[in-house]
A and B are shown apart, each in its own frame.
Chain A
Amino acid sequence: MMVEPIRGTASPIVAAQDARPPIIEISALGKTFTLDSGPVVALESVDLTIRKGEFISFVGPSGCGKSTLLNMVAGLLSPSQGEATLNGARIDEPSRQVGFMFQTAVLLPWRTVEENVLMPAEIFGTRTQALREKARSVLEAVGLGEFLKAYPQQLSGGMQQRVSLARTLTYEPDVLLMDEPFGALDEFTREAMNLELMRITQAAGITVLFVTHNITEAVFMADRVVVMTSRPGKVSGVVDVDLPRPRDIGQMQEQRFTELMFKVRGILGHG
């Protein structure tokens, strides 16, 4: 499923002189929460243009506003200042073009794997035979072809997150927002999930905004790493990751990878 790779797979040049059209434009975006103790700036004036098919990691300590930023792009939270646009249109409510994945799989235990994947279609009113077949092929692609009729609680944590990914991919979003999606998984499972996520989203040309607090993961996955610092939450720097794709674990041994990681560390340290 999902062929049509967006770029030559071995292209070493990424992001910087990217000719892909922008899909998300964030300008002067900020969020201030009003608490009893007074206003708290969660996120200060962010400017960022994200191109179609780009994989962007957001990395930073807790309280740096990365989740706040993601929620505003998702249309779940309205900005206090500035705006974010999706395909030129201002984001002020959730959209079908945008899929959201959480740290937990959020599966309904009374529904089978297949029924969970079809749940959004019931909400959209697009549950058809064609979609059922689509769901099956997506589940096949994430390696759960044999578990259509299983219940979530019969699956491991990694498999549950695969179901969650399949649920999002089935309605074919242009943008995938991920808030530490594999943070609850063990190291080995997380690595496998990361590779699979890259393979699938690259093949389908999906734009990914990936929030994590793991620097290695952030660099390994991304075309660009947006480094954020806290109090107040803001973007302190953007690091272009010029490692060739498709990525493999071996690249973590390369000197360039280490340099990029320390570049990110450097920005975090100065925040």
Chain B
Amino acid sequence: MAKSAALQMGQQVGASFQNGKKQEDLRYRLYSLAIIIVILAVWEIAPRLGLVSPIILPSFTAVVGALISLMQQDFFLRHFSVTLTEIVAGFVLGTSIGLVLGIALAVWPAAKRIAYPFVVGFQAIPKIVFAPLFIAWFGFGMSSKVVMAVVISFFPVLINTMVGLESVPAEARKLMRSIKATPLQTFRKVSLPHALPVIFAGVKAALTFAVIGAIVGEFVGSSEGLGYLVELYKNQLRIDRVFAVIVILAAIGAGGYFLLEWLDRKLIFWRSDVEGK
């Protein structure tokens, strides 16, 4: 934060600083690109030279071929949309539950004292062990996967909401009290916007967890979905297609992440302002 510099000076310094930063960014991007090229080259050459069996590691081009052929299958869209629905439903529900619980625990000290030990205890459980249970309770359909996604994705949102709301500076609370703001006004105008950057970090983590929840649920028991396809192709030893599904799942995860990242920048514009300096 440019605490000591006046605005104009800050802009000038910022401009020359930004130029140097751009060049540095470009250099690091080139490094990343070089690493990717090396990995893809090794991936392509190793199976072709017989260093690994193509059954275990199909070459990069074979995976690309499998990906294209898979996406042309009639059944593909159905499996794709099933998993995407599970992820989106689990993410939206998990995030909402985390947000509501986080707010409740932050604004209501009694609730926090009563519920917090349970929350921590619950977090200590590796929640994947619930997957078979949820299949037994909610069946082989989508609902058991949605529940799984909810159960593992709500937690980071809950914790970050709570921490964000509790990190409002004491002087800001005091200022609001000195102008006789109601608790609701303080919450809306100060606490919630203040907590938003931290909450959003939790929401991003929740998306990753929702993807894991849906896939694990499908592994444990399902008759459709991308996780089911991974299991199916593994059993058929069609590893090229296993890789193809993995690529699609990675694309779903990355797509969602970038969408949230974009929303983050739009919504929390003042954070990028600070980081830019």
Contact = CB atoms under 8 A, between A and B. Distances in A.
Nearest to A76: B177
A146 to B, nearest CB: 9
A106 B178 contact: no
A123 B7 contact: no
B272 to A, nearest CB: 11
A94 B193 contact: no
Contacts of A96: 179-180
Given A106-B171, A108-B189, A123-B185, A153 B177 contact: no
B177 to A, nearest CB: 6
Interface size bracket, A side: 20 to 34
A154 B13 CA distance: 13
B172 interface: yes
A147 B11 CA distance: 14
B175 A106 contact: yes
B113 interface: no
A74 B179 CA distance: 10
B178 A110 contact: no
A156 B178 contact: no
B175 A100 contact: yes
Contact of A156 (B6, B171, B185): B6
A119 to B, nearest CB: 7
Interface string A136-156: 000000000001001101111
B270 A156 contact: no
Interface residues of B, number: 30
A122 B193 CA distance: 16
B273 interface: yes
A103 B175 CA distance: 12
Among A108, A124, A153, A155, chain B packs the most CB atoms within 10 A around the CB of A153
B174 interface: yes
A59 interface: no
Interface string A154-179: 11110110000000000100000000
A156 B4 contact: yes
Given A94-B180, A154-B10, A106 B169 contact: yes
A151 B270 contact: yes
A71 to B, nearest CB: 8
Contacts of B118: none
Given A108-B190, A119-B189, A94 B178 contact: yes
B3 interface: yes
A153 B1 contact: yes
Interface of A: 74, 76, 93-96, 98-100, 102-104, 106, 108-110, 119-120, 122-124, 147, 150-151, 153-157, 159-160, 171, 186
Interface of B: 1-7, 10, 169, 171-172, 174-181, 185, 189-190, 193-194, 268-270, 273-274, 277
Given A76-B177, A94-B178, A102-B175, 12 more contacts: A106-B171, A109-B270, A109-B273, A119-B189, A123-B181, A124-B179, A153-B270, A154-B7, A154-B273, A155-B7, A156-B6, A171-B179
The 5 A-B pairs at the shortest CB distance, nearest first, are namely A100-B178, A109-B270, A102-B171, A110-B270, A123-B181
